[in-house]
Amino acid sequence: MMALLLKSYQSLLRGSAVPRRSMAAARETAGSSKKSLDLFYDVVSPYSWFGFEVVCRYRQIWNIDLHFRPVFLAGIMKATGNQPPATLPKKAEYLNMDILRVAKYYQVPVQLVSDFFGTVIQKGSLPAMRFITAVDASQPQYVEPISRELWMRIWSRDEDIVKPESILAAAEKAGLPLEDARKILEMSNSPEIKNRLKETTDQALKYGAFGLPSFVFHVNGKPQLIFGSDRLELLGSLLESPQEHCGEAGLLYRHGEN
């Protein structure tokens, strides 16, 4: 029984077909009150992409009201004194392997960028995150597909995400009409949007974030912070009933048993 639960849980996290039992559980919980989950992310972070895709796949099963919270990772790093792990040679060597392993496991089409420092550290993601923030303020239904397409550009096709033409191309591919995208791009440079991105970043810091992805949900009115795409099973066990989908199977999985 535990092996069956584990297999179903793992297959959904990895993006395989949703098991019948999981879909039945989703229908059972459809009428119950949803839990609110904030996902703080930046498209410059491949690990944010992993977390993003898993919570998108699993939101019905966990019965969550998912809120996308675009933030500026460099601002969080600076405020907390954190340093990119890839700045340490041995960590960079490990991350190159780890990112591809995790990408394969979760079935997210991540590829390594050809120039990490030039792309991630020097160029960064500020124009892209301001654009996503402007989309969130004006046409929030496009936040998910545009975020995904920007990740596809930088972390799958090794393409630019900061030039205006690059951002417009991503928006158009995500389904946003070009005329609307141009207006939103202009809006992204306004003080209102710049302040909005800063305020959301400050909110993540207030919750205790020091890196991304960061997930925040509330229990009895108190915020609970979960950091990292390697804590998704823990996040699921905290959001769900211990007897549904996770429970003992989750404990076995964390200890490496099959």
pLDDT in tens, 158-216: 999 999 999 999 999 999 999 999 999 999 999 999 999 999 999 999 999 999 999 99
205-253 pLDDT tens trace: 999 999 999 999 988 888 999 999 999 999 999 987 533 433 333 332 3
pTM: 0.85
Closest CA relative to residue 43, chosen from 201, 169, 142, 155: 155
Token code pair at residue 98: 């780890």
Residue 13: its pLDDT value, please?
57
To the nearest 10 degrees (0 to 180), the angle between helices 2-14 and 46-62 is 130
pLDDT at 18 over 70: no
Cα end-to-end distance, the chain, whole Å: 13
Token code pair at residue 99: 């990112």
102-160 pLDDT tens trace: 999 999 999 999 999 999 999 999 999 999 999 999 999 999 999 999 999 999 999 99
pLDDT at 8 over 80: no
Residue 86: its pLDDT value, please?
87
Q: Which residues contact 187 (CB under 8 A, 6 or more apart)?
A: 134, 137, 138, 193
Q: What is the CATH number of domain 2-254?
A: 3.40.30.10
Secondary structure of the chain as H, E, C letters: CHHHHHHHHHHHHHCCCCCHHHHHHHHHHCCCCCEEEEEEECCCCHHHHHHHHHHHHHHHHHCEEEEEEECCHHHHHHHHCCCCHHHCHHHHHHHHHHHHHHHHHHCCCCCCCCCHHHHHHHHCCHHHHHHHHHHHHHCHHHHHHHHHHHHHHHHCCCCCCCCHHHHHHHHHHCCCCHHHHHHHHHHCCCHHHHHHHHHHHHHHHHHCCCCCCEEEEEECCEEEEEECHHHHHHHHHHHCCCCCCCHHHHHHHHCCCC
Token code pair at residue 126: 């500020």
* CB 210, CB 193: distance < 8 Å: no
Residue 146: its pLDDT value, please?
98
The larger pLDDT score, comparing residue 31 to residue 194, is at 194
CA distances in angstroms from 200 to 42, 71, 211, 224, listed in the order given: 12, 6, 14, 17
Strand partners, 216: 38, 225
Token code pair at residue 118: 């030039």
- Structural domain boundaries in the chain: 2-254
pLDDT band at 32, cuts 50/70/90? Answer: low
